[in-house]
Structures are given as C-alpha cells and as structure tokens.
C-alpha cells in the first residue's frame, strides 16, 4: 500500500528534521529532500502537501535558494515556514525586504495574534507565543493572500490563500517554544492536505526492509553489534530483510552488565544471521591490568576494539556494505564542534575504515530514539532490549574507579543488577534516564553480625535528563533507596556501604570516569 506522503523541501534551515518529526508524530509519512528537486521528481514523489523549510538566506539575493519552477502550478498545498514563507511571497507577487532598523526583525519567543478563521489556526486561541528567527519580512503580501497573524513588531506574520491552499508563517511551528505549533502542523496535514493518518512504524519497517533488499541484492553486510538499542534495532532490521547475508560482530569485552552478553545472543536467535560473539574479556582485562587513569582506560579499550574488529574483518573476508545504527541525534551531534574533550567517547556503532566495503547503509538515520524503540518492538525485539538505557562503550571499566579486576567487576555487576531490579519493581525506570551502580575505590569500616568489616563502598548514580549534556540527579524515593541499599550489603559480598550521588551535571558528569 502506498502511503500518503508529505514532501519537506529543505532550503538549508536548521529545523528540517524537526519538521519531519512533527509530521510523522501526526502519523503522516514524510521525507526531507533538497530544494534542488526537479519538478518531474516532485511529481513522481506525488506528495499530498509540500512544506518549505526555513533557510539562512534572503529570498531576494541573487544566489539564494529557490524551488523548481512550476511548483506553484501543481495544485498541491504548500506550507512555507520562515524563509519558506518569504519564498511564497517573493514568487507570488509580494515583496520581501530586510527588516529596517530592527523593525519587524524578530528572534525568539514572540507574542503572536492569530485569526483562527484561517484553517491553519483553526481551533486555537487568538494569541500565543511563537518562536521567531527572521531578519527579513514581507513588506507586501502577494495578491490573493490574506494576512492571518501579526505580532507587536511585525504586521505580517502569517499569510494564506485558501483557494490555492498556500500558507506561510514567519515563525517556526515545529519547535517546542511555539505554543500549539503541532496543532498548526496537524491542521495543515489533515484540514488542508486531506491526510488520513495512514503512516505507522509497521509500514515504515516494511518500507525499510524493501529498501534494504533492493539495495543489498545478493551482497554481504557487516554490522558491529554493541547490544545497545540503536545497533540492536539496526541488526534486527537487516536480519529481517536479508537474513544470512548479514554478519554481526559482537565484541564482548568482558565489561558488560550482568547477563548482557547472553541476552544479546538470545534476542537474535530467531533470525538466521551470522552472529559472531567474540569473547575477549581476558584480553581486555590483560590490557587494563594496573591501569587507573580514566582517559588511559578509555584509550586502551578503544584501541583494543579496533584490533579485535580488524582480526574479525580479516576472517570474514568479503564485505559489500557496512550497516550502522546511526540515529538522528547522532547526525546532529556530529555536525557540532567539540570545544574541549572532557572525555574521549568511545562508540561501538561503527567499524574502522580498514574494512573494505562499497557503501555504508544507515537505515535509522532519520529516526528519533523513541521511533527507533518502536521499530525494535515491531521487529519483535524483547522489551528489555528496546528500552535499554544508554550504556557507554567502555562499559563497566569506567564504573570501577581505579584498577579493574575480575573480582571488582563481579561485585559491581551484582550491585548494579540489584539497583536496576528495584528500580524496575518500583516502576521508576520511565522517569530515570540513566541509572547504575559504581564501585568506588574506597574501603571503609563497617560492622556485620558481631564483626568488624573493612570493605568496598558502592555508589548509586541516577540522572534525569533530556540530552545528557546537562542532567539532574533523580529524586528516588527513600524507601526505594533503602531497599536497594539493604539488598546490596546483604547480597553482595565485600560491600558494606552504599552512597547516593546527589550532584548534577555540570559540575559532575554522568559517569564517574
Ligand atoms: P558523561 O559522563 O560524559 O556521559 O556525562 C554522558 C552520556 O554519555 C555516555 N557515555 C558514553 N557513551 N561511549 C559512549 O557510547 C563513551 O565512551 C561514553 N562515555 C560516556 C554516558 O553513559 C551518558 O549517557
């Protein structure tokens, strides 16, 4: 079945993916394409509506970006956002100029007044905050268009020609700061483009599977499986699409949580892929012996990973494609410059470039985390896998403070398991974005039974965060902390003290090392 589709033409704006996300949240399939798409390509794409994104340029400049000629004669509804709105004005007989003396130039949250007789604003209150970011404005509204919103500074905030179904807004309905922005997008899709809401993750999954099959043909695909949500969902997708043409290399560096390695293997049993589990625990521990400095630990683990893959890659021989579970937030992150290395992050998502391959395939590139989880569910991955919290590439090595030994890892695994178990029982896992135990390098005096003990202190860490760049410590109820603490000291030998970390990030980081 062919879904209804929305075409998002990207004119270089920073929120193109966010628009896509909003449209898909409204259960309408969409794709982001470059503004250079030709008229024939647009016709072939056959969208029920088109959205022009924002862009950094000015429409009246000589080399600014413009859509294909003839796009306004296709009879397809168009929503222009910011620069996209100015494009409508510019091409359809209006005038766009620089906002003079700062007049009508707006950035940030702006009180805006709407005429809700316009379908785009139907059902909304007459005023609300919108998010603006424009230095140009429409001096003259094009013929046939009505003015349907204004702000205190700018008279021309939104325009529409309901006959031709062209709508333009100077603000960004896709960002959270715009009150009712999603309703406006919903109105555009349902009231104006006639969407029926026929896009679901199940459909998307089938589409991805078809695409993978046609791209890969009879080729061989290699994927580095870490056991995290993204690489697992990616692996499941390829496994479903091409079965035994997929080889997954799963390096168990011996620094995983309790039972994690086995769980990964178990989850993929139902597919006929080639899953190579490399049990390299001893090798990693050997390299890490005596090492206490956090950055050195990270470096050793990162380098050793590459070596293990190199060896496996050589054994596998021919590879045509590399599969990667890159998701949209990774795409945004990689576009940003890192001012200073606080910690050298090590990711197991990719493979080093010595592996000979034709192309990288990243089927999750346009998906947000919650969409990736939903896709995983559709593919039949177990809930504990799709809901798995983030886990750092260097694993427990950066949660055992100081020197790492097999004994210490054993203690940490048990304590961490108890913590996770109690959090799940108390149903707190939804609110806590990441939570784990850490084995400190502190021993202290305790008393058990009638005897003195001199044993390790476990620290518990839990954070609530949206993006992990900043984080607050979770307010776990005392009763839950009490239960966790008493279980850890009773059930895990050589632990006589449990501490709870109550620092936010910054100044702390989420992990201890
Ligand atoms: P920090 O400790 O930097 O952690 O506040 C922020 C988030 O990043 C995760 N983290 C890592 N993830 N490789 C990863 O894939 C790494 O080397 C790494 N170090 C930290 C951490 O678990 C948290 O979610």
Closest CA relative to residue 326, chosen from 228, 449, 395, 192: 228
Residue 265 resides in a domain: yes
Dump pLDDT digits (tens) for 144-202.
999 999 998 888 899 999 999 999 999 999 988 899 999 999 999 999 999 999 988 99
Q: Examine the domain organization and report whether 53 and 180 are in the same domain.
A: yes
Give the pLDDT mean for 326-354: 59
Q: Examine the domain organization and report whether 59 and 160 are in the same domain.
A: yes
Catalytic residue, from 90, 106, 160, 174: name it.
174
For residue 28, the enclosing domain spans 5-192
Query: Ligand 1 centroid vs 438 CA: distance in angstroms?
Result: 14
* Residue where a domain terminates, one of 192, 220, 250: 192
Query: Does 351 have pLDDT greater than 80?
Result: no
Q: Examine the domain organization and report whether 240 and 173 are in the same domain.
A: no
What is the per-residue pLDDT for 332?
A: 55
Query: Does 86 have pLDDT greater than 60?
Result: yes
Counting the structural domains of the chain, the total is: 3
Residue 398 resides in a domain: no
Q: Examine the domain organization and report whether 206 and 325 are in the same domain.
A: yes
What is the per-residue pLDDT for 341?
A: 61
Query: Does 264 have pLDDT greater than 90?
Result: yes
Predicted TM-score (pTM) of the model is 0.76
Query: Does 347 have pLDDT greater than 60?
Result: no
Instruction: Tell me which of 169 and 349 has the higher pLDDT.
Output: 169
What values do phi and psi take at 211, rounded to 5? -60, -45
Query: Does 25 have pLDDT greater than 80?
Result: yes
Residue 395 resides in a domain: no
CA distance 191 to 184: 10
Query: Does 334 have pLDDT greater than 90?
Result: no
What is the per-residue pLDDT for 348?
A: 47
* Residue where a domain terminates, one of 351, 386, 421: 386
Q: Return the best residue to mutate from 229, 343, 435, 501 for the ligand 1 pocket (most ligand atoms within 8 A of CB).
A: 343
Structure tokens at 153: 């500074």
Q: Is residue 336 very low, low, confident or very high in pLDDT (cuts 50, 70, 90)? A: very low
CATH of the domain at 177: 3.40.50.880
Query: Does 8 have pLDDT greater than 60?
Result: yes
* Residue where a domain terminates, one of 325, 356, 386: 386
Report whether the peptide linkage leading into residue 507 is cis, meaning its omega lies within 30 degrees of zero. yes
Residue 392 resides in a domain: no
Q: Return the best residue to mutate from 227, 468, 506 for the ligand 1 pocket (most ligand atoms within 8 A of CB).
A: 468
Catalytic residue, from 172, 186, 253, 346: name it.
172
**Ligand 1, CB within 6 Å, residue ranges:** 343, 345-347, 390, 392-394, 434, 468, 505, 509-511
Q: Examine the domain organization and report whether 28 and 108 are in the same domain.
A: yes
Q: Which residues contact 174 (CB under 8 A, 6 or more apart)?
A: 15, 18, 19, 21, 22, 81, 181, 185
Residue 229 resides in a domain: yes
CA 342 to ligand 1: nearest atom: 3
Residue nearest (by alpha carbon) to ligand 1 atom 10? 392
Query: Ligand 1 centroid vs 345 CA: distance in angstroms?
Result: 7
Give the pLDDT mean for 64-70: 96
Query: What percent of the chain lies above the pLDDT cut of 90?
Result: 74
Q: Examine the domain organization and report whether 345 and 293 are in the same domain.
A: yes
Residue 393 resides in a domain: no
| Mean predicted lDDT score pLDDT of the chain | 91
Residue nearest (by alpha carbon) to ligand 1 atom 11? 392
Q: Examine the domain organization and report whether 186 and 274 are in the same domain.
A: no
Q: Is residue 469 very low, low, confident or very high in pLDDT (cuts 50, 70, 90)? A: confident
Instruction: Tell me which of 442 and 316 has the higher pLDDT.
Output: 442
Give the pLDDT mean for 479-486: 98
What is the per-residue pLDDT for 102?
A: 60
Query: Ligand 1 centroid vs 484 CA: distance in angstroms?
Result: 24
Asked if 174 is an active-site residue, the reply is yes
Give the pLDDT mean for 459-473: 90
User: How many Å separate Cα 124 from the centre of its chain?
Assistant: 30
Q: Examine the domain organization and report whether 53 and 112 are in the same domain.
A: yes
Asked if 172 is an active-site residue, the reply is yes
Residue nearest (by alpha carbon) to ligand 1 atom 22? 392
Query: Ligand 1 centroid vs 360 CA: distance in angstroms?
Result: 24
CA 343 to ligand 1: nearest atom: 3
CATH of the domain at 354: 3.40.50.620
Dump pLDDT digits (tens) for 144-157.
999 999 998 888 89
* Strands of 182-245, DSSP E: 221-224
Dump pLDDT digits (tens) for 424-441.
999 999 889 999 999 999
Query: Ligand 1 centroid vs 201 CA: distance in angstroms?
Result: 28
Residue 60 resides in a domain: yes
Q: Return the best residue to mutate from 510, 512, 513 for the ligand 1 pocket (most ligand atoms within 8 A of CB).
A: 510
CATH of the domain at 412: 3.30.300.10
* Beta-strand pair 359-361/246-252: unpaired
Q: How many residues does the chain have?
A: 513
* Beta-strand pair 221-224/321-323: parallel
Residue 513 resides in a domain: no
Q: Is residue 133 very low, low, confident or very high in pLDDT (cuts 50, 70, 90)? A: confident
Q: Examine the domain organization and report whether 409 and 486 are in the same domain.
A: yes
CA 348 to ligand 1: nearest atom: 15
CA distance 87 to 52: 8
User: How many Å separate Cα 176 from the centre of its chain?
Assistant: 16
Q: Examine the domain organization and report whether 102 and 21 are in the same domain.
A: yes
Q: Examine the domain organization and report whether 305 and 361 are in the same domain.
A: yes
Q: Examine the domain organization and report whether 187 and 166 are in the same domain.
A: yes
Give first-to-last CA distance, the chain, whole Å. Answer: 50
Residue nearest (by alpha carbon) to ligand 1 atom 14? 392
């Amino acid at each position: 079945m062919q879904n209804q589709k929305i075409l998002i033409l990207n004119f270089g704006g920073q929120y193109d993916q966010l628009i896509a996300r909003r449209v898909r949240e409204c259960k309408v399939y969409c794709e982001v394409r470059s503004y250079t798409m030709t008229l024939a390509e647009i016709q072939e794409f056959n969208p029920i509506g088109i959205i022009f994104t924002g862009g950094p340029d000015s429409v009246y400049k000589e080399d600014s970006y413009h859509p294909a000629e003839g796009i306004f004669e296709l009879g397809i509804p168009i929503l222009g956002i910011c620069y996209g709105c100015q494009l409508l004005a510019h091409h359809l007989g209006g005038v766009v100029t620089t906002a003079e003396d700062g007049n009508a130039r707006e950035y940030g949250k702006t009180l805006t007044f709407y005429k809700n007789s316009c379908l785009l604003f139907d059902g909304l209150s007459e005023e609300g905050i919108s998010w603006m970011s424009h230095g140009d404005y429409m001096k003259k509204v094009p013929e046939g268009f009505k003015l349907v919103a204004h702000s205190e500074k700018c008279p021309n905030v939104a325009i529409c020609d309901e006959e031709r179904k062209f709508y333009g807004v100077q603000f960004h309905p896709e960002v959270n700061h715009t009150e009712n922005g999603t309703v406006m997008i919903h109105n555009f899709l349902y009231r104006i483009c006639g969407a029926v809401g026929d896009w679901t993750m199940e459909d998307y999954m089938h589409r991805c599977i078809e695409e993978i099959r046609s791209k890969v043909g009879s080729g061989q695909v290699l994927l580095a499986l870490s056991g995290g949500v993204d690489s697992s969902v990616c692996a499941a997708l390829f496994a479903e699409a091409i079965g035994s043409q997929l080889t997954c290399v799963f390096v168990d560096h011996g620094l995983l949580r309790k039972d994690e390695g086995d769980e990964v293997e178990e989850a993929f049993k139902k597919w006929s892929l080639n899953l190579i589990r490399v049990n390299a625990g001893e090798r990693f521990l050997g390299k890490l012996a005596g090492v206490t400095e956090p950055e050195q630990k990270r470096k050793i683990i990162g380098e050793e990973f590459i070596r293990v893959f190199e060896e496996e890659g050589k054994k596998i021989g021919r590879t045509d494609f590399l599969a990667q579970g890159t998701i949209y937030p990774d795409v945004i992150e990689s576009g940003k410059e890192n001012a200073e290395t606080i910690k050298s992050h090590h990711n197991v998502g990719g493979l080093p470039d010595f592996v000979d391959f034709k192309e990288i395939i990243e089927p999750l590139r346009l998906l947000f985390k919650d969409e990736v989880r939903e896709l995983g569910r559709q593919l039949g991955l177990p809930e504990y896998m799709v809901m798995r919290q983030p886990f750092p590439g260097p694993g427990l090595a950066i949660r055992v403070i100081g020197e790492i030994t097999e004994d210490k890892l054993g203690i940490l695994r048990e304590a961490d398991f108890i913590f996770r178990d109690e959090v799940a029982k108390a149903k707190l896992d939804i609110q806590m974005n990441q939570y784990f135990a850490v084995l400190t390098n502190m021993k202290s005096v305790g008393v058990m039974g009638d005897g003195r003990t001199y044993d390790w202190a476990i620290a518990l860490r839990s954070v609530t965060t949206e993006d992990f760049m900043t984080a607050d410590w979770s307010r776990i109820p005392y009763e839950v902390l009490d239960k966790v603490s008493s279980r850890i000291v009773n059930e895990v030998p050589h632990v006589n003290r449990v501490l709870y970390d109550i620092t936010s990030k910054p100044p702390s980081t989420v992990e201890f090392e």
